[in-house]
Structure 1
């Protein structure tokens, strides 16, 4: 008994010290790594070492053929073009051909939103660097066919170049060496001890501060990135002086994850080998009969603006946030998701994150957003989901797993949606909210009026009173439409102003006529009780630009 009391006393004493202690490093290595990591090795290639292919391209036309493996067209007309080449048709396959003699190396294809490649009728798949390997050199001109997958606004083929295999491999190796040098400098600069250690390998550093993801009703996933292959532990508790519970961390290729019970994790710190982090806090604003949360979309690499948006969100004290797609500007670049996590850390509440078309960038080998899934999801976790908070029930959909955009009848997601929206959990919730990146209605830009497929999927349900609110992004502005029907009314919101470049004020469709349109950076704040749902759109300066109340 005395021994047990002694051990508990030591644990409490140790935890008390954690409130004031300094971590091994003063902060993450993010600021040291970011200028280097945001650049791909492809961007550092000497100009004289690449063969730019701008001439000789044939534009074969465009189509809206459905399916991930669209049929190769037989064009009636061929237009000779020079790159870059763009056309203003969303949700389209855009086809190009050329004849090229290619030595062993890599072909880099820049297209909006992505591309597939065939050489002499055989499909060539993109590698992890984002280039297409040319393994069988040709002495005679080879038939090159490129399919550009365009999901939004103008799309097409913008840049193609060839680079020798040894040149790119050397650039990749140099990039890795530069990363190691930056890490060593970060450790020395951020070290909090009096004397530098003899062996830095005993003191791994993390790349970004942790971010919180909700998992189920009662659990949180704490996640961050850091040096690979390190045994790690996470310690947590509900008071800064009582951080006594320990769990082992799962590490996969430098991604660290721990599942913890929501009600018991208000404070935590982690260990990575001999490294100890600072103490981190999770904001707990949970309520049972009401809820307040922030919604945002299309941060899309506008990091300075997004950081300011997050600061304004924090003032609103949300219970959680929902990011409705296009979280990064280039889903091919894995570092953008590290940057996203680093920004989200400043708002230490759970974040529900959904995929948009740019999160699918570079995914067109298998139509899986690999970087999005790797950094933000658990393995085998779907990108559509249902959850409840207070008086609200939520369904989040992902139409980007199909092309053109939509949720196909008979698909796994379609069947899941049909079953979920008729459950008692959905029917009994006072407020029923749908999140989907592409909006059913929008005056976004000339030639775009929203997604007809999303309209067709949801219309029966909103007209029967089973949907109160549909929230989207995709269009980089704020738009609001409230439709009345025989069972009440349904509000449609576009909250696409969290950081990406705003839509041109002089370029929008006349129809459908939205009730409000503001082309300014913003986010949404929702406060819901059983009888009322209050919404505010708040701009980057903290000013309310629009508001409304739905009542039951």
Structure 2
């Protein structure tokens, strides 16, 4: 907890009797329960096992494999199979931005079943050349006879990709599993809500304990009824939506919320009504321009008191954070985000793979919850990566990214400026294989680097997910299509930094392009699984390569920038000073 928030809470304690809303403690807390009843409840729920499908038949042997050549998402032909190799799963190979084909004959008849495909990054499935219906995620409905041909086209935008597993599940078993999983998740949400309440009633704890012992719809409904007046909010996240800063927060309930604002944290009297759209609230920050503090109420739920962030740009020194590849590692990522309350950063940029599966809305909610640990104190500029797309490869539209995240342009590529720094964010994932020809990005980039804002800046940053140079994955040297674009403009555009992720480690390299010194940073250690410790490519040889989770910070002092990178234990793993040439 930072110093300013401590002052706020002390003021609330000292003057709590002056205003009704100030004497109401926050309804929910992120701290673990201290009373014995809830500690027992937490241990009981921890012991409950996640449902798994009852009968699964792996199909892991006898697959033919061939790599695709010059294929796009929709423009492709089925390969010739006569001289292809036969292999067993799992199969992965380092072939970024490539289609990979797998085929086998159906040996035994398959009746009304679910085919579950685990592939990097996504898969299309064909039976006798006809595309199968996708039920959800990478699960397909399948009925087949002996001698039919099953073909799977894997589309890899990661570094290594391929077909990990293929499993067959009777459709009736899958429906039972799906119902059990839905019941388990609803029960878990209800129990977690009781555990997080600052002051749960004995009746709610007792009902939740009964629910753990007997997870039925009736018991879930009973707990939900006791908690119906207490929707669970996330902490606010500050994002830029087409040039306007907005506070974003999630709630377990729809409807309306009220923001109470003012300059005295114990006397917040100005009210604003906010309406949720699919449990996501958005509120223009400009409406709080005359306030210093605010808190949110929805039904009987009260948040803590937050400080209103001041968005005036400083002419003096400032700092910001850089990270990428949180990618489902929420415990690590949340820990890193919680440290930002100790910093006085002006913004934070995330260079893609924000989630592990872009099609899963639960992961986007987890992302916003983790970002909320910064308490809306500064804006986030978030760039999509290959995992932030829907993962289906039926189309290439990051639907959930566009639903939960906003950008200064309303597109997946955008620019912004702060003080003497100019930033351009690119997204090559709009095409398969990745590139910049699917939109007007390339022409936009060429126009942007000629803009007065870019030319007048001291420092110039390009941010994107796939790095042009990387050593951290064996056989991968960075993405060629990114190199082709950026190599041609490094010197003319005076690009100082390229910030990326994709490789799950920390890397730093400085190179000269003519008279321009370019610094390459890979900050792909915000939570996703790290690359193997001893594996790396022969080239390019990075100046630093470290396999640890981390959060990077830059301290800008006019013509110099100090870089500091810390691991989750807050130990410095790298630091470097950049001086403007």
What TM-score comes out, normalization by structure 1 length?
0.85
Pair 1:118 & 2:126 matched: yes
- Aligned equivalents of 2:579, 2:356: Cα separation in 1: 34
Q: Distance in 1 between matches of 2:560 and 2:266?
A: 39
Separation (CA, whole Å) in 2 of partners of 1:207 and 1:122: 45
1:24 Cα deviation from its structure 2 partner: 4.1
Deviations 1:414-435, CA, capped at 9 Å, x for gaps: 3322322222121222221110
Residue range with higher mean Cα deviation, 143-152 or 99-108: 99-108
Count of residues in correspondence between the two structures: 533
- What's the offset of the Cα at 1:195? 8.3
Q: Does structure 2 retain, via aligned residues, the 8 Å contact 1:208–1:338?
A: no
- Displacement after TM superposition at 1:97 (Å): 1.2
Report the CA distance between 1:94 and its aligned residue: 0.8
- Match of 2:542, SS state, is coil
Matched, 1:96 2:102: yes
1:548 aligns with 2:555: no
Q: Report the CA distance between 1:122 and its aligned residue.
A: 2.4
Pairing partner for 1:206 from 228, 232, 236: 232
Deviation at 1:13, TM superposition (A): 10
Offset at 1:244?
A: 4.0
385-394 vs 534-543, greater mean Cα deviation: 534-543
Name the structure 2 match of 1:46. Answer: 53
Task: Provide the rounded CA distance (Å) in 1 between the counterparts of 2:413 and 2:521.
Answer: 19
> Counterparts in 2 of 1:126-525, with a 5 A limit?
126-134=134-142, 137-139=143-145, 141-189=147-195, 190=197, 192=199, 199-200=225-226, 202-206=228-232, 208-227=234-253, 229-237=254-262, 239-241=264-266, 243-261=268-286, 263-264=289-290, 266-282=292-308, 284=310, 287-290=313-316, 291-348=318-375, 349-360=378-389, 362-377=391-406, 381-408=410-437, 411-525=439-553
For residue 520 of structure 1, report the CA deviation from its aligned partner: 2.5
Instruction: Using the TM superposition, give the Cα deviation of residue 187 of structure 1 relative to its aligned residue in structure 2, in angstroms.
Output: 4.5
Q: What is the alpha-carbon root mean square deviation over aligned residues?
A: 3.6
How far apart in 2 are the matches of 1:302 and 1:415? 36
Q: Which SS does the other structure have where 1:212 is aligned?
A: strand
For 2:425 and 2:194, the matched residues in 1 are separated by 44
Tell me the TM-score normalised to structure 2 length. Answer: 0.81
After TM superposition, the structure 1 stretch with the greater mean CA deviation from structure 2, 211-220 or 92-101, is 211-220
1:477 to partner: Cα distance: 2.0
Q: Distance in 2 between matches of 1:516 and 1:443?
A: 10
The corresponding residue for 1:4 is none
Cα distance in 1 between the residues matched to 2:44 and 2:479: 38
* Residue 24 of structure 2: aligned partner: 21
Which runs of no fewer than 5 residues in structure 2 stay unpaired? 1-14, 205-221
| Secondary structure of residue in 2 paired with 1:501 | coil
Secondary structure of 1:63's partner? coil
- Contact 2:490–2:516 (Cα < 8 Å) also in 1: no
**Are the equivalent residues in 2 in contact too, given 1:406–1:453 (CA < 8 A)?**
yes
**Alpha-carbon distance in structure 2 between the residues aligned to 1:294 and 1:277:** 26
Structure 2 CA distance, aligned partners of 1:253 and 1:509?
45
Kept in 1, the 8 Å contact 2:328–2:527? The answer is: yes
Distance 2:90 2:516 in 1: 49
Contact 2:473 2:537 in 1 (8 A): yes
Q: Secondary structure at the match of 1:44?
A: coil
Distance verdict in 2 for CA 1:516–1:356, change over 3 Å: same
Corresponding residue for 1:5? none
- Structure 1 distance, partners of 2:348, 2:43, is 28
Task: Verify the 8 A CA contact 1:28 1:205 in the aligned structure 2.
Answer: no
In 2, the alpha carbon distance for the partners of 1:157 and 1:471 equals: 30
Which residue of 1 is the match for residue 91 of structure 2?
A: 85
SS at match of 2:381: strand
The range that moved more, 493-502 or 445-454, is 493-502
What residue is the counterpart of 1:109 in the other structure?
117
Q: Is the 8 A contact 1:116 1:125 kept in 2?
A: no
Shift of the alpha carbon at 1:95?
A: 0.3
Give the equivalent residue in structure 1 for 2:217.
none
Query: Conserved in 2, the CA contact under 8 Å of 1:24 and 1:193?
Result: no
Q: Matched residues in 2 for 1:34 and 1:252: separation?
A: 32
1:454-479 per-position Cα deviation (integer Å, ceiling 9, x unaligned): 11111222111431211111112222
Secondary structure of 2:489 counterpart: helix
Per-residue CA deviations over 1:205-226 (Å, capped at 9, x if unaligned) read 2264332223355522322242
Residue 73 (1) aligns with residue 79 (2) = yes
TM-fit CA distance, 1:132:
1.8
SS in 1 for 2:283: strand
Per the alignment, in what secondary structure is the counterpart of residue 504 of structure 2? Answer: coil
Q: CA deviation at 1:111?
A: 0.6
Distance 1:90 1:183, change over 3 A: closer
Moved more, 439-448 or 75-84: 75-84
Deviates most, 389-398 or 523-532: 523-532
